[in-house]
């Protein structure tokens, strides 16, 4: 069935390091992927997205990489800051874009200064 999962439930880094958060998806027909950041007590915050016709997309301090061969998605955060501490979710729209998002369980990123 369709599912989106993450490799590690927690990731601890030092301030200034680069962080890499990974996600594996199972639906090879998925054509759109999103990364969200969720702080405690708040709703998910859109970070960056990527379509299946791309393998890399960059934003401000963040890069998303998509490897369709192994159905793997990653989020790279450059120069990680304490304010980046949160739970990160990847999500996909499965076969149909613009409808329901399917979320994984999330990775908790802890940044120590």
Partner 1 sequence: DTGVSQDPRHKITKRGQNVTFRCDPISEHNRLYWYRQTLGQGPEFLTYFQNEAQLEKSRLLSDRFSAERPKGSFSTLEIQRTEQGDSAMYLCASSLAVRDEQYFGPGTRLTVT
Please report, as ranges, the residues that interact with partner 1 according to CB under 8 A.
4, 32, 34, 36, 41-46, 49, 89, 91, 93, 97-106
Q: What is the nearest approach in angstroms of partner 1 to the Cβ of residue 96? A: 10
3-state SS of the chain: helix, strand, coil percent to 5?
A: 5, 50, 45
Q: How far apart are CA 58 and CA 66, in angstroms?
A: 12
Decide whether 32 or 68 has the Cβ nearer to partner 1.
Answer: 32
- Toward partner 1, which CB reaches closer, 42 or 113? 42
Q: Which residues pair with 46 in a beta bridge?
A: 36
């Amino acid at each position: 069935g369709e599912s989106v999962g993450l490799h590690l439930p927690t990731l601890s880094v030092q301030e200034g390091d680069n962080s890499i958060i990974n996600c594996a998806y199972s639906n090879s027909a998925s054509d759109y992927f999103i990364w969200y950041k969720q702080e405690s007590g708040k709703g998910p915050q859109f970070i960056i997205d990527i379509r299946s016709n791309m393998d890399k997309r960059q934003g401000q301090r963040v890069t998303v990489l998509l490897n369709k061969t192994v159905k793997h998605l990653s989020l790279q955060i450059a120069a990680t800051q304490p304010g980046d501490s949160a739970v990160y979710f990847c999500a996909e729209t499965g076969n149909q874009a613009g409808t329901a998002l399917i979320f994984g369980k999330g990775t908790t990123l802890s940044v120590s200064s």
